[in-house]
Structure 1
Amino acid sequence: MTPENAETTALKALAWLVADDELLPVFMGATGVDQDALRASAGDPGFLGSVLDFLLMDDAWVIRASDALSLPYDQLAMARQMLPGGAQIHWT
């Protein structure tokens, strides 16, 4: 997974999320983003990371998005690791 592939995966996930009338309001409420900010931030890797963070909070959302996008179930998590703020934290 490259950073470019991660961004592409996250953009696909964002497009899926925007089309989901049930989940989009949950995302917007949780993040405080409105439609204008959503459009303006779509190209920001940090924002795309937050989209993946949101989806990764619930296995059912990961499965729904992955199935709809024909992605392996672990691809959203792999993409998240490649975007800003997604690196594994090592406490040693």
Structure 2
Amino acid sequence: MALQALGWVLSDGPRAERFLGLTGLSPDELRAGLGDPAILGAVLELLANHEADLVNAAFALDISPEAIIAARKELS
């Protein structure tokens, strides 16, 4: 789910830039850390902290916002 959420985050330039800016990750670090639970958790954390993105991502990914929140808790 976190990888799907990452794909959704990165599908929009300004949203992707916000994610990289908030996490301090470079694109290379992000690519290298795709299997890192901390990085995947950061994706879900971004969504959890911005309700509009949470709702839009959940709709786009056909999952509930609650499922994203639960996955974030599992990764932290």
User: What TM-score do you get using the length of structure 1 for normalisation?
Assistant: 0.77
Give runs of aligned pairs for residues 63-78 of structure 1, distance below 5 A. 63-78=55-70
Instruction: Using the aligned pairs only, state the percent identity.
Output: 38
Q: Deviations over 1:2-61 (max 9, x none)?
A: xxxxxxx11110111111212110111111111101101111112111111111111101
Bigger helix fraction: 2
Q: Distance in 1 between matches of 2:8 and 2:14?
A: 11
Q: Which has the higher contact order (CA 8 A, sep 6+)?
A: 1
Would you say how many aligned residue pairs link Structure 1 and Structure 2?
76
* Contiguous gaps of at least 5 residues in structure 2: none
The two structures, once aligned, show a CA RMSD in angstroms of: 0.9
User: Which stretches of structure 1, 4 residues or more, deviate above 6 A after TM superposition?
Assistant: none
Which residues of structure 1 form unaligned runs of 5+? 1-8, 86-92
Q: Which one has a bigger Cα radius of gyration?
A: 1
Instruction: Give the structure-2-normalised TM-score.
Output: 0.92
